Structure 1
Amino acid sequence: MSDAFLRFEDISISFPGVKVLDGVSFELHAGEVHALMGENGAGKSTLMKILMGIYHPDAGSVVIGGEPAEIASPSDALSRGISMIHQELNPVLDMRVYENIYLGRELRSSLGLADAKRMRTETDALLKRLEIPIDGNRMMRTLSVAQMQLIEIAKAIAFDSKVVVMDEPTSAITESDVEILFRHINRLRESGVGIIYISHKMEEIFTIADTISVLRDGALIRTAPAAELDEPTLIKLMVGRDLDENFPKREVEIGEPVLTVQGWSSPPLVKDISISLRKGEVLGIGGLVGAGRSEFVESLFGVRPGSSEEPILLKGKPVRIRKPIDAIRYGIALVTEDRKVTGLNLAGSVAENITLVNLNKLFPAGLLRTRTETKIAKDYIDRLRIRTPSHQQLVSRLSGGNQQKVVLSKWLLTEPEIIIFDDPTRGIDIGAKRDIYNLIGELVEKGRSVILISSEMTELMGLSDRIHVFAEGRITGTLDRPDFNQERILELASQFGD
């Protein structure tokens, strides 16, 4: 490899009450894929925000091409050849795909006006080259989370940058899309582009990375060639301890059905779904992105319309769920796929988010008691090991894994009998994942029942008692735990057409 194009030298930064980065140094060479690993809250995203000019370090410097660089803003970073795919998507939903891709760098006509026709043509050519089957003229709000992620990837690649930062780029895309992404990463590497790659998916890291650096609690623990590390060693470097078992499945006696649905539909995608969830069971739902998994559970919860000829049965009794408040009243909770959009009030504190769904129950007289709210929040902060300076911290300031734990706290406080998890570990680290796996085990041990949607095959098979596989809004097959097989699940997930 050539000399380092980019170096971080003794970077430190503190936020009120927390030292987030402490003397971090490492370098990126042209044509190198450098994986940056660590638990949520280790400082990875903060370091990348310093690189992009969003934050400015208290000490240390960023060196580009051998010269210290004061990066004032994201546009300044782009002008220096640095682009980033952010973990949390922030598309302009009321703009079209091509407008998002060229946002802030619009192509202009000879008269100085935005040249929409040319931008659309260039966008369609880019998406075709990247094997992304999306029309550049579509409105962003019509896209799924996975499709928005692909557009963000395309946008970063379109800048012809010398450095591309990829922060959890595969968190919401399919395995086939991951293969396409990796092909483009290899092309970028061959053309001399340096890539900083952040992911919690170990198999990706060992597939694509040349070098790995590990952060823990804001400090650099080790930098080494990927070939010198293995998964157990990497996990220990990240969390500071051994994790002996990937999926701590609890052996629980499965009881009688608690939820029965027959012939359920939610147009236009979900068609004729029949399931039966039993007490103490983890019922997995597998399938490709876009198969109707999220749409099904959202319709069950009353977020979107759904119906069947037969009523929903809860413990054998017919019920009607027309809106989320009905589901909550019947003891059902839904941890949604996108915590930022549908799971949290980002303008609120940790305490306000934890008590959000329970205000009427906790304060029936309509009078908020701060002392009660504080006690509840502190109890859940301790119980779920939420890393936060205080219960008053804005939830938007927490890492992804800790935000997810706040969402879980909010729903656990409702004391639900049935908990639906929709991709609950998307974009969070190995330690936070382990905490959620243990929580699922504790819930079923207490007689609760869980519906688990997961895009990670090993996670789905590791935690579930049964798996329903979805394709095009239908159940194409059901497997019991002794029959779990990755190839069979993928085969069922690919059964398209009537």
Structure 2
Amino acid sequence: MGGETILQMREIQKSFGGVKALKNVSLDVKRGEIHAICGENGAGKSTLMKILSGVYAHGSYAGDIHYDGQLRQFLGIRDSEDIGIIIIHQELALVPMLSIAENIFLGNERARNGIVDWEVSYSKTRELLRKVGLADDPATEVGALGIGKQQLVEIAKALSKDVKLLILDEPTASLNDNDSEKLLSLLLDLKARGVTAIIISHKLNEISRVADAITIIRDGATVDVLDCKGGNVDEDRIVKAMVGRDMADRYPRREPRLGERLFEVRNWSVRHPTQDDRMMIKDVSLHARRGEVVGIAGLMGSGRTELAMSIFGGNYGRGIQGEVFVEGRAVDVSSARQAIESGIAYVTEDRKGCGLLLDDSIVRNITLANLGAVSASGVIDEHREAVVAEEFRRKLHIRCHTVSQAVGNLSGGNQQKVVLGKWLFAGPDVLILDEPTRGVDVGAKYEIYTVINQVVEEGKCVVMISSEMPELLGMCDRIYVMNEGRIVGEFSAEDASQEAIMRAIVRNGGN
């Protein structure tokens, strides 16, 4: 077992709208092994696995896939499943209102003459559930199960399709310690039964326990392959390979002039909105001083956005506990209005879905969060509105024909500037930015960075969430690191590095 190569992917390339997600990736997996794929957010890991599983059809990418000795050209996910390649995505593909049995055999029903045979379906489901260590009733609605059990149901579904190669994308990202342990043990059990597995993960403690080999992808290319059978996994080598790209000088310079503590969060905890037994934010404390840009680093699922949204008006989660202070006094942030009145603003990562009214004008979007400043006796002064919008157009270099133009017709970078303008007009002391330069070109990024520097030079503070570590390192005076809903590291600008941040993440996985 583990000697013969079952999968070869050669020189895989994939583009989205002219942007190369995969430039030149090769992958070799041996039969009966657990092969880990590591890399930062956006490295191309999930894209590669979607190509392998047929989610991205042959013809939409360049390169070759050889599986079980044959050249394969999958036109859809059904083609890959027919030969035993099954993918379980990070976002589980289960239907909450259907039973376990219905989910397992959805699209593959056990039927006679077009009628579902429930006796056979339940019997087969019980057999499959035993294999993954579950004793639940097959008639139980999947929505009533915890996320850990749902993950195991997905694996049972894969077993029902006679899986030969199981692909798991960040399978433990949403699991607690106990459920993660069960899943890893099941993977080792499946390996003993001859199932080959590919696991995408950033948790080196888990990878070192189960992986026989590791392929590391960076910026859409394979950069290193490690054989783990010979001994312990070299964490430093993995971290360096994951983040070892050059940083260009793309950030406006600023001399920090830090004042007193302006913003503080103490012992903040948040439960999942629908799963009361699942803590999403776990006793987080952080602070920011006047004139300071504070970063929050972390991988997908670490809880960064959930933290920000829960602080800004309780817009995420249930059972929120903890305290928020502005200028040393406790403030009520239980609604967005109260958060704004307390001097806190939040620029969402989803500018199109949550940050802007795309069909409305630049004018209306910029004044939306502070209508009281452009109205009298409840009537909006449209001339005053236009003057304010024109001021922010000049200040933020918003490229448009007129401030009456619909925001939906602007480029992504200019839309982001409008979002910033809206919250700057609200006059906050604390500006929380969630992925402020996502989908923005390099020139617009620099202009947004300049605005951030201007905000803190006025004696305010900025809390910046970003998946781009070079951005955090280039802009922040101090960086917190989150993983699995906790703060797992804190670095000054002098001590921060991509390696140090990634090491804090992977060495605290599951802690």
Q: Same fold (TM over 0.5)?
A: yes
The answer to whether residue 104 in structure 2 is matched with residue 101 in structure 1 is yes
Aligned positions of 1:90-489 closer than 5 A: 90-108=93-111, 110-116=112-118, 118-132=120-134, 136-143=138-145, 145=147, 148-226=150-228, 227=230, 230-241=234-245, 255=261, 298=310, 301-303=313-315, 323-332=335-344, 360-361=368-369, 368-369=406-407, 374-375=413-414, 377=416, 388=439, 432=467, 434=469, 442=477, 454-455=483-484, 460-463=487-490
Number of equivalenced pairs: 410
* Counterparts in 2 of 1:439 and 1:302: CA distance versus 1, 3 Å: farther
Kindly state the Cα deviation for residue 326 of structure 1 after the two structures are TM-superposed. 4.0
Separation (CA, whole Å) in 1 of partners of 2:491 and 2:134? 32
Kindly state the Cα deviation for residue 80 of structure 1 after the two structures are TM-superposed. 0.6
Separation (CA, whole Å) in 2 of partners of 1:138 and 1:295? 32
Separation (CA, whole Å) in 2 of partners of 1:379 and 1:21? 32
Report the counterpart of residue 81 of structure 2 in structure 1: 78
Q: Does the 8 A contact of 2:65 with 2:72 survive in 1?
A: yes
Separation (CA, whole Å) in 1 of partners of 2:317 and 2:244? 46
Structure (1 or 2) with the larger CA radius of gyration: 2
Kindly state the Cα deviation for residue 317 of structure 1 after the two structures are TM-superposed. 6.7
* Secondary structure of the structure 1 residue equivalent to 2:175: coil
Separation (CA, whole Å) in 1 of partners of 2:14 and 2:95? 30
Amino acid at match of 1:88: E
Amino acid at match of 1:224: L
Q: Does the 8 A contact of 1:34 with 1:195 survive in 2?
A: yes
Separation (CA, whole Å) in 2 of partners of 1:374 and 1:118? 56
* Counterparts in 2 of 1:70 and 1:186: CA distance versus 1, 3 Å: same
* Counterparts in 2 of 1:378 and 1:101: CA distance versus 1, 3 Å: farther
Q: Does the 8 A contact of 1:130 with 1:154 survive in 2?
A: yes
Kindly state the Cα deviation for residue 324 of structure 1 after the two structures are TM-superposed. 4.0
Separation (CA, whole Å) in 2 of partners of 1:23 and 1:307? 46
Q: Does the 8 A contact of 1:37 with 1:199 survive in 2?
A: yes
Separation (CA, whole Å) in 2 of partners of 1:218 and 1:307? 40
Alignment equivalent of 1:68, drawn from 66, 71, 75: 71
Separation (CA, whole Å) in 2 of partners of 1:213 and 1:66? 21
Kindly state the Cα deviation for residue 35 of structure 1 after the two structures are TM-superposed. 1.4
Report the counterpart of residue 425 of structure 2 in structure 1: none
Aligned residues: percent identity? 29
Q: Does the 8 A contact of 2:8 with 2:28 survive in 1?
A: yes
* Counterparts in 2 of 1:437 and 1:190: CA distance versus 1, 3 Å: farther
Deviations 1:53-90 (A, max 9, x none): 12125432211221111212111111110001112334
Report the counterpart of residue 32 of structure 1 in structure 2: 33
Deviations 1:227-261 (A, max 9, x none): 47511111222222599xxxxxx9x9984885689
* Counterparts in 2 of 1:346 and 1:182: CA distance versus 1, 3 Å: farther
Report the counterpart of residue 42 of structure 2 in structure 1: 41
Separation (CA, whole Å) in 1 of partners of 2:337 and 2:100? 35
* Counterparts in 2 of 1:437 and 1:105: CA distance versus 1, 3 Å: farther
Separation (CA, whole Å) in 1 of partners of 2:311 and 2:136? 26
Report the counterpart of residue 470 of structure 1 in structure 2: none
* Counterparts in 2 of 1:132 and 1:257: CA distance versus 1, 3 Å: farther
Q: Does the 8 A contact of 2:263 with 2:325 survive in 1?
A: no
* Counterparts in 2 of 1:453 and 1:225: CA distance versus 1, 3 Å: closer
Deviations 1:426-472 (A, max 9, x none): xxxxxx4746975996478xxxxx9x974276xx342499xxxxxxx
Amino acid at match of 2:63: G
* Counterparts in 2 of 1:158 and 1:174: CA distance versus 1, 3 Å: farther
Q: Which moved more, 1:371-380 or 1:188-197?
A: 371-380
Report the counterpart of residue 17 of structure 2 in structure 1: 16
* Counterparts in 2 of 1:153 and 1:420: CA distance versus 1, 3 Å: farther
Q: Does the 8 A contact of 2:4 with 2:31 survive in 1?
A: yes
Q: Does the 8 A contact of 2:478 with 2:490 survive in 1?
A: no
Kindly state the Cα deviation for residue 127 of structure 1 after the two structures are TM-superposed. 3.6
Q: Does the 8 A contact of 1:51 with 1:62 survive in 2?
A: yes
Separation (CA, whole Å) in 2 of partners of 1:267 and 1:192? 37
Q: Does the 8 A contact of 1:31 with 1:188 survive in 2?
A: no
| Uncovered stretches (5+) of structure 1, i.e. residues with no partner | 244-249, 392-404, 426-431, 445-449, 466-485, 491-498
* Counterparts in 2 of 1:374 and 1:17: CA distance versus 1, 3 Å: same
Kindly state the Cα deviation for residue 204 of structure 1 after the two structures are TM-superposed. 1.9
Kindly state the Cα deviation for residue 147 of structure 1 after the two structures are TM-superposed. 5.0
Kindly state the Cα deviation for residue 279 of structure 1 after the two structures are TM-superposed. 5.7
Separation (CA, whole Å) in 2 of partners of 1:183 and 1:157? 16
Separation (CA, whole Å) in 2 of partners of 1:267 and 1:388? 30
Report the counterpart of residue 474 of structure 1 in structure 2: none
Q: Does the 8 A contact of 2:266 with 2:286 survive in 1?
A: yes
* Secondary structure of the structure 2 residue equivalent to 1:78: helix
Separation (CA, whole Å) in 1 of partners of 2:54 and 2:366? 39
Q: Does the 8 A contact of 2:413 with 2:441 survive in 1?
A: no
Separation (CA, whole Å) in 1 of partners of 2:170 and 2:68? 26
Report the counterpart of residue 54 of structure 2 in structure 1: 53
Q: Does the 8 A contact of 1:42 with 1:218 survive in 2?
A: yes
